[in-house]
Structures are given as C-alpha cells and as structure tokens.
Amino acid sequence: MLKPLIFILIVVTLIALGLNLDFFTTEESITKTETTISKVNNSPQEATEAITSTKVISTKETNSSNDNNLSSELDQLLLEASKLFQKNEDSEAHRIYDKIIELSKNSKDPRILKYFADAHYGKAFLYNVYPTNDTDSAIEEYELILNKFENSNDTKLLKTYITAKLQQAQFLTKEEVLQAYDDLIKKFGSDKENRFQKEVEELQFSKSFALMGVNDEEAMEVLDDIIAKYQDKGSSKLPETVQYSILNNIELSIITGNNEEKYVDLANKYLSNTADTKPLLDMLNIVKNAQELEQEEAFEMWKEEHNDYHFPDWDFSELRKWADAMEDPERQARVRNYLDAFEKQKYNRTYATPYAQLSNEVDTDRGQNNDDYAVYEPNTTDEEPIEYEAVEYESDPYINDIYQNNDPYQPSYPSPEITYNNPYSSSNANGVSHNYNDPLE
C-alpha cells in the first residue's frame, strides 16, 4: 500500500502547487499592472496603452476560462451520447453529437476542435452499425473532418486529418485506398518542418502491404524507400516500420524471384538481436530452397533450434498464394509441404500444457458434453501430463481473401474465425493502417 499512497500524495501535492501557482501568477500580474499605471500616470497616452494591455490580458484569461468551461460541457455531452448509444437510442445520440459539433465548430482552440472531430467520429460509427449500415453518410462524416482540418497549421489537427482519412478508407475500394495513401504521403512527406516522418513511413509501409499480391514489385519499391532512409545511418536501432520493411522485402524477393541477399544482410546487421529474426530467416530460406530440393535436414535443424517459436506475428497467406500459382507440380508440392509444417507449428500444439488437462464435464447450460469446447483446467494431481494429438491441420491459402470479402476495411470488428493478421504491424489485411491513435486524445 505504500506506493499507491505515495502516488496519491504526489498527485494531490502537484494539484495544490498548480492551484497556488495560478493564484500567485494572477496576483503578480495584477501588481505589475498597477505599478505600470502608476509609473505612467503623468502621460495619458501611456496610461491608455497600459489599460488596453491589461484588458487584452484579461480577455485572454476570460477566453481560457470559457474554453475550460466549454471543454467540461463537451466532455459531459460526449459521455451522454455514449450512454444513449448503449441504450440503442441512436437518434438521440445523433442529436447530442450535432450539439457538440455546433458548440465546437467555430473554435480556434485545438483542444475544443478535438470534440468536433470526436462528434463526427461518433456519428460515422452510428451510421455504419446495424441497423443503419449507411456507409455513404459515414464517409461524409469523415469528409467533414477532412475539410475542417485540411489547411490547418496545427500539428495535432493535421494528424487528426490523417486519422480521419484512414478511417474513411475502410469504406473505399482498394484502388481508392492506394490513392488515399498516395495523397497523404505527398501532402505530409513534403512538410518543411518534417513533423510527420513517422506517419509518412507508416503510410508507406501500409501502402506496400496493400500492394502485396497486386503489384509485388511496386510493394518492394515502396519498402526500399523506407529502408534507404536508414541503412546508411549506422544506427543499431531501427524504427519498427523499417525492421518490418526489411523482413517484408525478403519474403517479396522470394515471391518475385529477386535476389534477397541484400535484405538478409540488412536483417543480420540491424535485427540480429530480435527474437523473430533468426527463425523467420531460416524458415524463409527453407521455403525458398524447397523450390529445387527437399529440405528435411534443414527443417529438422529448424525444429531443434526454434522448437518454441510459433510465428506470433507472421502471416503465411502471401507465400500460400505464391505456391498455389506454381506451374511445376513437384516444386509446388515441396513448397506446400514445408508451408504446411510451419503453419502447423503456428496454429497447433502437439502436447497439452504441462499443468493442464482436458475437462470433459457436462455443460449444463448447453446440455451436452463439453468435448466440442476444449476447455483446459489445471492438473492438480501428481500424474504425468496427458499427451494429446494435435488437431488435424487444414491449410486455407485463401483465408486472407475471405477476410477481404468479409469486411475489407473494417479494422474494429474482425471476424473471430479469421486468424491471419498483418504479419508485421497492426495494419489490417488490406493495408489500411490503424496505428494512428487520435493525436488529440
């Protein structure tokens, strides 16, 4: 309990200091104003200027106070809209969001404009969910945010512009998504202050992922642009987008028949300390070489070295599509065989966990045996762990396409049956990046 108590005391102390600081600052400004007026009381013009200056300061303080009061009011309105949505009172929630928009739309304060964006996000969400399913209106809500912030000079508002553009992209065709990436990269890549380097690199990375399976060569070129910014800097720590770009291009080099050695060298140079690099490089090498020869010895070595590695962030769908397009049946069979083995490593476990065993008790709610639900319970006996056969693995090389057809650009509600994710980031399977938290949050 000591640490929580200390933390609370620190917070209370800081609040008290903040309040005292505001008090003393206000008193000090008043004292300075009185002193200034007394010093210039022999000059009517100077006295007038001093009084005018005082009024400006007072106006700023009043505006700040008004903004704080408005912010509190808007917070309450957002909370009210959320509660109405939970009660399925969507029309009332829309009315509250409209009120928030009306109160915030003319503000110049980014803190207040945050609520303008939040209200439009909320309305877009309401339009998109059942029973409305009005995607056109949802698109229009995002468009209103874009129009509002497009010409802003405020960094946070411009980042909100990026967020809105990407959220809107979930309703667009792949061609329109790629165009949205190009527009954002062009707009923010040319920023003179270079404020959006991270966002631009993430946009490039997401664009490359959207291009996979559509134009793999161009996808590689986009990743090359990201890598080129860092490979000669001698930095031992690369941003995640660059690390992922290197790994992506090794896979794409194999798929397109290009030489992957330079990317392997970069991975060994910059990524040798990451837990994923060695097992992924060895896996890709086995798959590549399986085009010509069986890889039993290399695969056995892989299992010995990486037995506990289960490809937590890797997606095999692009390699699957590549294998399925092979014209030589023998080559195709070898590659598929090793892809099956690696995917089995990812999705299945041959043994039960050391301290677990299956429970086959009757589920009274469902009125049937619990075999269908594979529930694990702790093993509290001294018996040896029970060994279980792995579930029969059936690969589905088109599962990524199923994901796309299910709901192409909706990252918020992925189908629980879909297990393939973007192998390198939190972007969804069509390349729409959703790493961007609203910068105004």
> Can you say whether the dihedral through the CA atoms of 353, 355, 357, 359 is positive or negative?
negative
Give strand pairing partners of 376: 358
Which pair of structure tokens corresponds to residue 393? 């693995």
What pLDDT, on a 0 to 100 scale, did the predictor assign at position 166? 95
What is the distance between the alpha carbons of residues 71 and 133, in angstroms, rounded to a whole number? 31
Residue 303's contacts (CB-CB under 8 Å, 6 or more residues apart) are none
Task: Report the half-sphere exposure of 328 (CA within 13 A, side-chain side).
Answer: 7
pLDDT top residue among 415 and 346: 346
pLDDT at 403: 36
Q: How far is CA 327 from CA 179, 257, 291, 332, in A?
A: 33, 15, 11, 7
Q: Please tell me the least confidently modeled range out of 22-36, 106-120, 309-323.
A: 22-36
Print burial letters for 165-181: b (CB count within 10 Å at least 16), e (below 16): bbbbbbbbebeebbebb
Q: What is the pLDDT of residues 331-345, one digit of tens each?
A: 999 999 999 999 999
Tell me which residue has tokens 């912030």: 149
Half-sphere exposure of 269 (CA within 13 A, CB side): 16
Extract the tokens encoding 432: 């729409």
- Pair 252, 220: CB distance under 8 Å: yes
Would you state the pLDDT for residue 382?
Answer: 52
Residue 348: the pLDDT is: 74
Whether 319 contacts 342, CB under 8 Å = no
Higher pLDDT, 376 or 64: 64
Whole-angstrom CA distances from 329 to 5, 256, 326, 334 are: 69, 18, 7, 9
- Inter-residue contact 217 to 191 (CB < 8 Å): no
Q: What is the mean pLDDT of the chain?
A: 74
- 388 vs 255, residue with greater confidence: 255
**Would you state the pLDDT for residue 213?**
84
| Pure H helices in 87-150 | 90-104, 110-128, 135-149
Range name among 36-45, 125-134, 147-156, 416-425 with the lowest pLDDT average:
416-425
Q: Is the pLDDT of residue 265 over 90?
A: yes
Q: Do you find a cis peptide bond into 439, omega within 30 degrees of 0?
A: no
Q: What is the DSSP letter of 377?
A: E
Model confidence band, residue 347 (pLDDT cutoffs 50, 70, 90): confident
Structure tokens at 43: 């000059």
